Structure 1
């Protein structure tokens, strides 16, 4: 999320002016193009109630995508690393570690420039088998809103769009609580039949740190 090459700023365009000052700084990223961001906080609740079912999908979808536990008061760490995609477009790799009491779990994703203004491609997991097309916006409270429009499954070199009954609808809201002086996050993924299959909400402190020269690839993202 570098200020000179923020994939989020590029998607928001003029709408970025509606972000709260703290959120604008968050989205813009560190002044150092090689910098990165680290957030640490606690989720009020995090995880999925479909853990056993999700474990069955792990061999297909790969690591770094499925959260199979569900607990309250879960500590977490998030690491954001900006990099450049193969065509030189800005991108953002994010790694999240959920500190469940039953064992930590990791969720990683990459944000890439979308096919049109206001859109982002969100590639999930270490293998990138699942891709969401997101709409990027700002709500009346100055929060960053990401909302999925469609879901695709990558099989070899092909990306197959899933019908609504097989897909997941995801939405997240990231903001800043001025009274408590912390960032807030809420995210939910819903299936049209099963209902909520993943959710997390909580707050966190966030800072930008300098990094080594050059760009970071998704494989280097760690929490």
Structure 2
């Protein structure tokens, strides 16, 4: 079994910078977890109209309701098997904003056809997004979101583009500085930019058999629908 990202990207995975290849090979096969620590130079929001939505999302660890500069940052990528038997890798981001740290939680699994990543967001996985990763000519990783779905009990609906958003993540490795660089933008097709952050971090790897999955990293509720 290969990693989730290698499976989806196929030969494109080998075009990534070697440091990115290792980072996105984290999984049950590699037996490694990856922890990134650094600083987000900027966390930004769009117009004031987005603030209530960001505040609501923050109650379930979705997006970040505050802006900031030079914010200490951690991302935890830990593989595990969820309650439905699927290989899952956490993408739990913690922004240490003044007064109260904020989390942006995501858990990634392989889509049923092996052609996309499914990104379950938040503590209760009410939102699920399709992610489409690709390698850029410079060896960086570009991830674009596709369809978003909202799921609660019997409800399973596609989020309309009017109220939804498209996420774009660019991650690269800076050989000169020896850091990973990340830039995230979330944009609504009608209202424009909604949220984003950018910064740099370094990573360490650990043996998942030794470190396990720490309490609080997994979601409160797991969603089985793909």
Instruction: Name the TM-score, length of structure 1 as normaliser.
Output: 0.86
2:51, 2:117 → 1: CA distance? Answer: 31
- The count of aligned residue pairs is 217
Is 2:159 the counterpart of 1:162? yes
Instruction: Give the direction of change, closer, same or farther, for the CA distance of 1:121–1:31 in structure 2 (3 Å limit).
Output: closer
Is 2:7 the counterpart of 1:10? yes
Instruction: Name the TM-score, length of structure 2 as normaliser.
Output: 0.85
2:134, 2:177 → 1: CA distance? Answer: 24
Instruction: Give the direction of change, closer, same or farther, for the CA distance of 1:122–1:74 in structure 2 (3 Å limit).
Output: same
1:63, 1:7 → 2: CA distance? Answer: 25
1:215, 1:84 → 2: CA distance? Answer: 11
Per-residue CA distance 1:50-106 (angstroms, 9 max, x = gap):
564135534xx8421131000111110111111124554432112111011242101
Per-residue CA distance 1:165-207 (angstroms, 9 max, x = gap):
1211001011101111111111111112332221011110011
Runs of 4+ in 1 over 3 A off after TM superposition: 30-34, 49-52, 85-89, 115-118, 212-222
**Which ranges of structure 2 fall in alignment gaps of 5 or more residues?**
220-226
2:106, 2:100 → 1: CA distance? Answer: 20
Is 2:138 the counterpart of 1:138? no
Instruction: Give the direction of change, closer, same or farther, for the CA distance of 1:155–1:185 in structure 2 (3 Å limit).
Output: same
1:35, 1:18 → 2: CA distance? Answer: 21
Is 2:150 the counterpart of 1:153? yes
Trace 1:87-102 onto structure 2 (pairs within 5 A).
Answer: 88-102=85-99
Pick the aligned partner of 1:64 from 61, 64, 68: 61
| Root mean square deviation of aligned Cα | 2.6
User: In the alignment, is the contact (CA less than 8 A) between 2:183 and 2:197 conserved in 1?
Assistant: yes
1:182, 1:76 → 2: CA distance? Answer: 13
2:9, 2:214 → 1: CA distance? Answer: 23
**Which ranges of structure 1 fall in alignment gaps of 5 or more residues?**
none
2:139, 2:15 → 1: CA distance? Answer: 6
User: In the alignment, is the contact (CA less than 8 A) between 1:47 and 1:71 conserved in 2?
Assistant: yes
User: In the alignment, is the contact (CA less than 8 A) between 2:129 and 2:147 conserved in 1?
Assistant: yes
Pick the aligned partner of 2:73 from 63, 73, 76: 76
CA shift at 1:117, angstroms?
3.9
